[in-house]
């Protein structure tokens, strides 16, 4: 299996706080790869390092055999890395449709003049982007709220819209930062179904951070476990479920 992403010995510190220490792993193309660990383990810092919000002081991040360690987030997005956020980051005063269309800006090629006049190439491009967004709306079953203001939607629906915005970037690597946090059981089941459909129908490589361990075990091919910024385990769901270091880390979290 070709390697889609190689996180190579990265370390990240904020002053005296070590968020990540010598973390390494590889994600195969077309794989669902989960990262788990107790609260404060460094999981979000890891995603922020991969998509360029943070720059580790040590190590490299290799995407499709290219070192992207020092590229800004928008350049990584152009290469095919997209993400959702633990705390929803949408335009709350805009519609669902407008939020998804806004994510298409990275693919727009017409210049300011033709865009302002809205004829020829600009019009054709607008139609093509709208068609792609409508496909995402259908796929994520958002038709009934497509013209709704995002700020008026339930939490679960907003999380689904954010997933749609990430898909609108047409990534080849999708980073999901706790996509099911705060959801009820029905909403979690819907989100899990969408994630599996994205993987199976589009063959997309997915990196997932999630606290629902049973769900992670059900949908992931490979799992890495970090605790206090250090990788303490890696393997298949079966291997991780019997790993004593992993069990101790979660038991330690529960004792506090």
Please, are residues 218 and 188 in contact by the beta-carbon 8 Å criterion? Answer: no
C-alpha span between 127 and 122 (Å, rounded): 9
Q: Is the pLDDT of residue 213 over 90?
A: no
What are the tens digits of pLDDT across the range 66-121? 999 999 999 999 999 999 987 777 888 899 998 998 887 765 555 444 445 455 55
In this structure, the strands spanning 173-177 and 3-14 are unpaired
DSSP E strands in 102-236: the ranges are 173-177, 205-209, 222-227, 230-235
Q: Where is average pLDDT lowest: 10-24, 46-60, 84-98?
A: 84-98
Could you give the 3-state DSSP secondary structure of residue 119? coil
Tally of CB atoms within 10 A around 231: 21
Q: Domains for the chain: give ranges and CATH numbers.
A: 1-80+171-256 (3.40.50.300), 87-167 (no CATH)
What are the tens digits of pLDDT across the range 117-136? 455 555 666 677 788 899 99
C-alpha span between 122 and 229 (Å, rounded): 47
Residue 148: per-residue pLDDT: 94
C-alpha span between 90 and 145 (Å, rounded): 15
* Residues contacting residue 100 through CB under 8 Å, at least 6 positions apart: 133, 136, 137, 161, 164, 165, 168
Q: Kindly state the average pLDDT of the residues 228-256.
A: 80
What are the tens digits of pLDDT across the range 142-188? 999 999 999 999 989 999 999 999 999 999 999 999 998 888 889 99
What are the tens digits of pLDDT across the range 26-50? 999 999 999 998 888 999 999 999 9
């Amino acid at each position: 299996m070709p390697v889609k992403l190689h996180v190579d010995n990265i370390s990240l510190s904020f002053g005296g706080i070590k968020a990540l220490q010598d973390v390494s792993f590889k994600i195969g193309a077309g794989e669902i790869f989960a990262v788990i660990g107790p609260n404060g383990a460094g999981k979000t810092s890891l995603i922020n390092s991969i998509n360029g919000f943070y720059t580790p002081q040590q190590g490299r991040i290799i995407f499709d055999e290219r070192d992207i360690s020092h590229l800004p987030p928008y350049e990584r997005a152009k290469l095919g890395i997209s993400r959702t956020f633990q705390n929803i980051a949408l335009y709350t005063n805009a519609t669902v449709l407008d939020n998804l269309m806004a994510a298409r800006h990275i693919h727009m090629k017409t210049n300011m003049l033709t865009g302002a006049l809205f004829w020829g190439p600009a019009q054709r491009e607008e139609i093509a982007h709208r068609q792609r967004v409508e496909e995402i709306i259908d796929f994520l079953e958002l038709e009934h709220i497509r013209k709704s203001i995002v700020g008026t939607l339930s939490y679960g629906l907003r999380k689904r819209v954010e997933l749609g915005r990430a898909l609108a970037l047409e990534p080849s690597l999708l980073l999901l930062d706790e996509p099911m946090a705060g959801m009820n059981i029905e909403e979690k089941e819907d989100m899990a179904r969408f994630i599996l459909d994205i993987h199976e129908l589009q063959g997309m490589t997915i990196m997932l951070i999630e606290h629902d361990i049973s769900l992670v075990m059900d949908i992931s091919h490979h799992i890495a476990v970090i605790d206090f910024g250090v990788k303490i385990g890696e393997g298949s769901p079966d291997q991780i479920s019997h790993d004593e270091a992993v069990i101790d880390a979660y038991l330690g979290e529960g004792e506090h």
